[in-house]
Structure 1
Amino acid sequence: MAEISSLFVTRLYHAKLSEHEPVIDPQELEDSCVAIAEDDDAGLEWCEQNGYPGYTSYASLTDLPWRSPIFADLVKALDAHVAAFVEDLEFDLGDKKLVLEDIWINILPEGGIHTSHIHPHSVISGTTYVYMPEGSKAIKYEDPRHIMMMASPIRKKDCRDELKTFVYRAPEVGDVLLWESWLRHEVPMNMAEDDRISVSFNYKWE
C-alpha cells in the first residue's frame, strides 16, 4: 500500500500573548504605541522620506523596552513564547540562546500595505497584535518552495493548508504569531478606516 508523508515542514506558532506572564494590558500597550509614535519625530520623518504608509519605529528607536515599562514586560512574555516555539522546532542551540534583536511599532492606516519580505540575519520573527479594526486582520505567508515549483499546476481552492501556495491568518488583538525568519510574508492592504497597530520583533542566536 502506498505511503505518502509530508517533508520539510514549515511551522507557524499562534497563541494568546497572555499565555505567558507578565500579563499585558492591551489598552495600555495601545496607548503607549500611539504616544511613542506621536513623539518620534525621527521615525515620522523617515516614514515620510521613504514613502512608508503610516508609522514604524523600526528605523528610529532601538530602546523601546528601556523607554517604556510595558515594553519591558512585553519582551519578558515574548521570551517565553519564543522559548516554547524553539522547543517545538527542536533547535539544538548548544551553549547559546535566542535573544531579542529588535522590536518595533507598526501603525498602518487605511490603504496601507507592507509588501512581501523576509527578515535576514534573524532566526525567529513575529508580531503581536495591539489594535485590529474590522477589515485589517490578515497576514499572508508564502510557501518557501514557490520559486521551485516551475511547471506545477495550481492547487485546488480547498486544498489542505500544507499544500497551499499562500496561507492567510487572521489574528485577533492579544495574539502573537511566530515564524522562522526566512519565511516570506506580507501585510495585505488595510481596508478599514482605522489604523492597524501591531508590534513586531526579531530574535537572533548568540
Structure 2
Amino acid sequence: MKFSSSFIGVPLLLCGASLAVAQGTVDPLPAGSASTPALQCENAVTAAIQKSRGVLAKQVQFATPKRAVRPASAASEPVESSFQGEGRYQGGGGNIPFTYSCTFDTQSQEVAGVIFKDTGAPDRPTEKPWQADLANLSPEACEAAAATAVREQYPRAVHVALSPKSRQLSAAPNGRTYLHGQGSTERAQGMPTSAFTYRCELEANSGKLLGVRLDWVE
C-alpha cells in the first residue's frame, strides 16, 4: 500500500500551517484479520505520523466521535470512500493535535492514501504552583547542620547563634525546598561578632537534608 499526496477528485492545497504527507508502505494486515476500513485508515495514519515525525511520535490516539465518512461515489474509478478525523500524538514537547484524511479503496479493501496535518502547539502539562510541605521539614536539623558548617570553617568559633525568626522557605530545583536563615558567631574567642546567612536544601517529600551553604556578611 502506498501513501499518496492527493485524493482522486480532491486537489491538495499546500498553504498555511505545515502539512505533512508521508509516502511509503505500510505492512499489510495478517490474512483473515478482521479490520474495518476506519481501523485500517487509523493504522495507516499512525504509520504515516511515525514515519514523518520519527521516534518522537508516540502514543497516537484518535478521537472516534470526530470521525466522518464520505460514502463511495458510483462515478469514482476505482470506487473509494474518504475518512476524516482528529487525534493527537505524544511528541517531544507534549501532546500534539492533528487532523487527517484517508482514502479507502472499497474494491481492493486497502488504504489508497492518507494525509495528516498538525493543528496546534503541543499541549504541555500544567505545572502545579510550588507549595511548601511543612509536615516533613525539620528547621532544627537544618540549623544544626548550619552550626556544624560554621565550626568546620572556624574550629575556634564560639557563641554560634541562629535566629528562628529569619527562617524562610523557597522552591529549589527538581521539586526540592530551600530553607533560608540568618545567624552570627565569634570566629574565635574575643573576636568581633560575624553575621552569616545559611541555606539548606531539603527533599520536599521526606525532609532529608541534602546540603547546607554558608555566606558570610562582611
Superposed pair shares fold, TM > 0.5: no
Q: TM-score range by the shorter chain?
A: under 0.3
Relative contact order, CA 8 A, sep 6+: which one is greater? Answer: 1
Say which structure is richer in helix.
1
TM-score, normalised via structure 2 length: 0.26
Say which structure is richer in strand.
2
TM-score, normalised via structure 1 length: 0.27
Q: Which has the larger radius of gyration?
A: 2
